[in-house]
Chain A
């Protein structure tokens, strides 16, 4: 009797480079896919965090007795129930930035800071219990403005740190001399606000402590389940393998779900105290804005010099990032805010210092772009202004100074494939730059460019950032891919399945992908820094290759051939030498599992890019195994009466090495760009005097909607990276880095005004237009006066 076989779709053979449908699409469109938001168990308790109501103070006492007496309250935890162990996000390279406790015991540092948690039978009871918690604080003066926080005498948020969590001084060459030798020097100050990831699925988790075995399971909405596991094990003093984190489908992360949060810790500990009942903690939208993670607001001071012929001589400046109450991914963000310059421009003389500063406000983490968005606005606007200063076309200026393929930057980044020039050339051609730039002022239209670079990963919380994959081929021909990579909606399960199918030589429809379960899937550092396609993709490729080899060894043995001469392509085992077909994949598998052989086909792969983190003493570091590039162009029309800016069209030329799934790649670009448009015009998370979000809801924190989207032309530039799986590099972040600058540059082209503070609002446009008018009148006056003298 033969095992029943799966029927496979021949159309999905050789899937790399094809826009195959998402592997998880059907579940999503039918509403069947389960997110952590949907997880529910019998007798599950509702958990709520006990949060500080003051921005800065010492905790004198917490009295939970009245709350404990409330019927329906099953467990309450405060710091005394914990080991008081700190955790952070850059543990390996920046141990001094480990500054947050899951449940604070001594101090609170922002309104929302977690000082305890309650588990009750329902939400009503949990809310009522919260009101019965009696906390006594010694309130301390708070500081919510980043510049105030840096001044001597400011309230100190963490011990002996001067409110500076991290300093990154980057120095190369002799910037002062290079500035002196420049023909044109200019200095600009840019302000970029705080923002929020605003993923639609809030932070939510279910924790369960299995009391007889002392094992924890956490069902999580997480971009980095292994990091979460590590932090849980550390803070709960458990063995790593007694903690299981199961990533469910995730409703968006954008950098906000890259870490363990106190609620993950609390759900597990509450479960223990409640005798092992599962505890679900879910943030409402207000808590999302208040107490999860947000984007660093930044002040970017930049002073550069250029020669008349456009050569960029030196870049100097200062970056001040508002980090909120704890460090989170601070070091990586401040590094990204400065380092991306080296990926884009050939620069020998450089002196920029970055400060990541504490304030008594919600915690700044790693929002998509990691600091590159704020930097992108400042740098790309500034570059345009330098070009303007020497009367050079902004595109010519870029082409004169950009990095090239196969070069090493001054800070030791190894750029191999580099499609930046091709991206610029293709974008310019598509948008008809020469016809439009400087030529549409009479109709208040303008066109502007911004360029950006993408990394594929970055060593952060561990010394390595490897990914692992297992490819298991079953008896009936279905293929299981186990990957630690976390699909948070960007389609990594699909792309990795395509890679597995392509390498194994079979149809994509055979693949079933299981991702992000720390007990079942191999280790992976997580979904961030656009690393998944490149790093996890390579691990998957290697695993598929290994599985293929095992199959071919059996076929070789059976047919008395050389395994090295065989390959699997398009569902057939072939002889590479003469291209003859030996047998089908299905028959080969039957052979593997037949009684003479009885071999399980289990392929494994592990990949760790040969990279180094940024050394914070020298600014040197080759952070990524490869680098991606992009040129983005915006064409706008400014309504001088209302100040509204309409984006007529955008072009994005993107060097992604190779598009594993072109439709997915386009979708990522469009989504990234939408986020960039949001940050340019709408998103501004600001805080009140107590450091609380003043617009922490969707009514007042506006996200882009369909009617605000311009047509977007995506141009894929395929440089076929030798290190990437099938030539692919990562992407997912780059498309929002240059957006604000491209638009600001286009506005300058249209109506001659410079907005250096985001978001670009109609009010700012009107004000700038008025100022321009006044300046021009004054100039005219001076000219007239000069004439008469």
Chain B
């Protein structure tokens, strides 16, 4: 039995060893928020967060991350309350067809948790692995900048 920790919950799975994390998330556990569009680590729609980093679940073996905490898009909102990154994406018109959005939100979140005030260049660098065919990226960048400000403020209030 392999235990995976996803969004702070433990899931026991009978894994043989060759299962890719993306498959386990979507097919075994029903977390269909994480997508795939290329199966070859080019598109970023399969991004999840592990260890605070944006990780491509399509090139991750599920067994290899059994001892790590995995966060998927489904783990961000707190009930009805959206995570600042999610809210910012809606507020700034960054969402169109939405297929790239879970992966982009996960990469954005990883960036902002490390650096809540990234420069344009730092956003270029952090999001260069995520494709979007609809939006043209500009509103996505706007959303990232505003989400960062919000996250910084929240962190400040939490400290007090």
A interface residues, Cβ below 8 angstroms from B: 19, 21-22, 24-26, 28-35, 37-38, 198-202, 249-252, 254, 284-285, 488-491, 663-664, 666-667, 669-675, 697-699, 703-707, 709, 711-712
Contacts known (A285-B37, A488-B97, A698-B42); A31 close to B102, Cβ less than 8 A: yes
**Contact yes or no, A705 B131, CB < 8 A:** yes
Q: How far is the CA of A24 from the CA of B90 in the complex (A)?
A: 9
Contacts of B98 in A (CB 8 A): 24, 28-29, 33, 249, 251, 489
Identify which of B87, B93, B94, B105 gathers the most chain A CB atoms within 10 Å of its CB: B93
Q: What chain B residues lie within 8 Å of A663 (beta carbons)?
A: 92-93, 139
Interchain CB contact under 8 A, A667 and B139? yes
Q: Chain B residues near A201: list those with CB within 8 A.
A: 35, 37, 97, 99
B70 to chain A, nearest CB (A): 14
A-B contact list, 30 entries, CB within 8 Å: A22-B90, A22-B95, A28-B101, A30-B74, A30-B86, A31-B33, A33-B98, A200-B37, A200-B43, A200-B97, A200-B99, A200-B132, A201-B35, A201-B37, A249-B97, A251-B99, A285-B38, A285-B40, A488-B97, A489-B96, A489-B98, A666-B139, A667-B94, A675-B133, A698-B131, A699-B40, A706-B124, A707-B125, A709-B136, A712-B138
In the bound complex, do residue A30 and residue B73 qualify as a contact, i.e. CB atoms below 8 Å apart? yes
User: Which of B37, B82, B105, B131 has the largest number of chain A CB atoms within 10 A?
Assistant: B37
CB distance from A192 to the nearest CB of B (A): 19
Q: Closest residue to B140 on the A side, CB-wise? A: A706
B135 interface residue (CB < 8 Å to A):
yes
Judge if B29 is at the interface, Cβ distance under 8 Å: no
Binary A-proximity of B9-38 (CB < 8 A = 1, otherwise 0): 000000000000000001000011111011
A709 contacts B133, CB within 8 Å? no
A285 — nearest CB in chain B belongs to which residue?
Answer: B38
Contact yes or no, A31 B34, CB < 8 A: yes
Ranked nearest first, the 4 interchain pairs of A and B with the lowest CB-CB distance are A31-B33, A489-B97, A251-B99, A670-B136
| A-facing residues in B122-160 (Cβ within 8 Å) | 123-125, 127-128, 130-141
CB contacts (< 8 Å) of A491 on chain B: these are 96
Other 7 A-B pairs with CB < 8 A, given A489-B98, A675-B133:
A29-B86, A30-B77, A37-B35, A199-B133, A200-B35, A201-B35, A703-B133
The answer to whether B76 has its CB under 8 Å from any CB of chain A is yes
Instruction: Tell me the bound Cα distance from A22 to B87 in angstroms.
Output: 12
Question: Which residues of B have CB within 8 Å of A707?
Answer: 124-125, 128
| Interface residues in chain B, defined as those with a beta carbon under 8 Å from any beta carbon in chain A | 26, 31-35, 37-40, 42-43, 45, 72-74, 76-77, 82, 86-87, 89-102, 105, 123-125, 127-128, 130-141
Contacts of B125 on A, CB cut-off 8 Å?
707
| Chain B residues whose C-beta falls within 8 Å of the C-beta of A489 in the assembled complex | 96-99, 134
Question: Which listed residue (B31, B40, B134, B136) contacts A697, Cβ 8 A?
Answer: B40
**Is B89 touching A29 in the complex (CB atoms < 8 A)?**
yes
Contact call B38/A698, Cβ cutoff below 8 A? yes
Q: Which residues of B contact A669 (CB under 8 A)?
A: 136
Write out the residue numbers on chain B whose beta carbons fall within 8 Å of the beta carbon of A202.
37
Q: Once the chains are docked, how many angstroms separate the CA of A22 from the CA of B139?
A: 14
Q: How far is the CA of A669 from the CA of B134 in the complex (A)?
A: 10
Instruction: Give the CA-CA distance A55 to B93 in the complex, in Å.
Output: 44
What's the minimum C-beta distance from B125 to chain A, rounded to whole angstroms? 8
- Closest Cβ of chain B to A295, distance in Å, is 14
Contacts of B35 in A (CB 8 A): 35, 37, 200-201, 251
Shortest distance from the beta carbon of B23 to any chain A beta carbon, whole Å: 10
Assuming the A-B contacts A200-B100, A489-B97, are A32 and B133 also in contact, with contact meaning beta carbons closer than 8 angstroms in the complex? no
Could you tell me if A30 and B76 are in contact, using CB atoms closer than 8 angstroms? yes
- Rounded to whole Å, the gap between the CB of A197 and the closest CB of chain B is 8
Cβ-closest chain B residue relative to A34: B32
| B135 touching A670, Cβ below 8 Å | yes
CB distance from A384 to the nearest CB of B (A): 25
- Taking a contact as CB atoms under 8 Å apart, the answer to whether A706 and B95 are in contact is no
Select which of B38, B76, B87, B128 is within 8 A of A705 by beta carbon: B128
Contact A698 B40 (CB under 8 A): yes
Within the assembled complex, what's the spacing in Å between the Cα atoms of A22 and B38? 27
Question: Is B97 touching A251 in the complex (CB atoms < 8 A)?
Answer: yes
Nearest neighbor of B105 in chain A, beta-carbon distance: A29
**Complex CA–CA separation, A490 to B97 (angstroms):** 7
